[in-house]
């Protein structure tokens, strides 16, 4: 599943290509929106809210999309071939005289009044990459469930939005906290959240848009820890239907661990080690 920095970057690129320009192409390739035509309307802005994209157009309408596991937008010059997947995976095409934005494999695609955006993003906590970021609110949200495993709590977008699997795993490792530690037992919860946000901000601000380059534990299962030499473990964490593949080093992150955690030779679930059938985002 794309991290918040990937979604933020997609919003920036789409905003650069579409905002302020009148749509000359509008093609919704989902049954419930098949008759919608936005041509002739000006795009006002494309913004990210957590892992959601909101494309606002004239007339008080917003196109709401979410990538979930495999969705993506690609930008093309008019008349050039589309790359990113077969034509049957295209769910949305919005274009103007200069750019065509093609949405592939979008599991969430809906049109709603702009004034009702809170219906789809109002449940989210403060956005780690947004202007609404508020550390105190995020900490308060996390502490509201003191017995919850911190690894799961950090991924719940209702607590703080935009943080994904990669950065919460790396932040937990760097702070020496087991993902299965109850929130109430984390020695310095604020420092953990600050670090996770700093990691994702660093990735967002890379000129090439690439994510965190040095991974200490993420997708390194079965290999030795770079600090202590212990073998990196992997296990699923979270409620059924929401479980995520979690990596950690028992030597550098002492504390609770799941029963039967895998130590060697395991492989991530399809999708780059991400195993959520559903998503609280």
**Active-site pick, 3, 175, 197, 204:** 3
**Active-site pick, 51, 56, 197, 204:** 51
Residue 2 among the catalytic residues? yes
What residues contact 224, with CB distance under 8 A and at least 6 apart? 230, 231, 232
Residue 244 among the catalytic residues? yes
DSSP string, 165-205: HHHHHHHHHHHT--TTSBGGG-TTHHHHHHHHHHHHHHHHT
Burial of residue 86 (CB within 10 Å: 0-12, 13-18, 19+) is exposed
In angstroms, the CA 235 to CA 257 distance is 9
**Active-site pick, 2, 56, 68, 170:** 2
Contact 179, 246 (CB under 8 A): yes
**Active-site pick, 68, 91, 244, 274:** 244
Looking at the annotation, which residues are catalytic?
Answer: 2-3, 51, 244
């Amino acid at each position: 599943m794309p991290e918040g920095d990937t979604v933020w970057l997609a919003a920036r690129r789409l905003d650069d290509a579409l905002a302020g320009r009148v749509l000359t192409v509008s093609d919704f390739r989902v049954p419930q929106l098949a008759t919608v035509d936005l041509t002739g309307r000006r795009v006002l802005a494309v913004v990210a809210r957590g892992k959601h994209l909101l494309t606002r157009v004239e007339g008080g309408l917003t196109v709401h999309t979410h990538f979930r596991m495999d969705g993506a937008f690609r930008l093309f010059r008019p008349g050039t071939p589309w790359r990113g997947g077969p034509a049957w995976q295209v769910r949305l095409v919005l274009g103007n005289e200069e750019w065509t934005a093609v949405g592939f494999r979008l599991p969430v695609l809906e049109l709603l009044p702009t004034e009702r955006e809170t219906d789809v993003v109002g449940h989210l906590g403060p956005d780690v990459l947004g202007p609404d970021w508020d550390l105190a609110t995020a900490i308060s949200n996390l502490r509201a469930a003191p017995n919850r495993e911190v690894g799961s709590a950090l991924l719940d977008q209702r607590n703080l939005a935009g943080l994904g699997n990669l950065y919460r795993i790396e932040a937990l490792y760097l702070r020496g906290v087991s993902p299965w530690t109850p929130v109430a037992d984390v020695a310095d919860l604020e420092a953990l959240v600050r670090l996770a946000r700093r990691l994702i901000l660093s990735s967002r601000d890379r000129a090439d848009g690439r994510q965190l380059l040095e991974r200490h534990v993420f997708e390194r299962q079965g290999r030795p820890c770079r600090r202590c030499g212990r073998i990196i473990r992997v296990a699923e964490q979270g409620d059924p239907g929401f479980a995520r593949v979690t990596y950690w080093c028992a030597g550098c992150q002492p504390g609770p661990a799941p029963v039967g955690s895998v130590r060697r030779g395991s492989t991530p679930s399809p999708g780059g080690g991400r195993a959520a059938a559903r998503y609280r985002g």
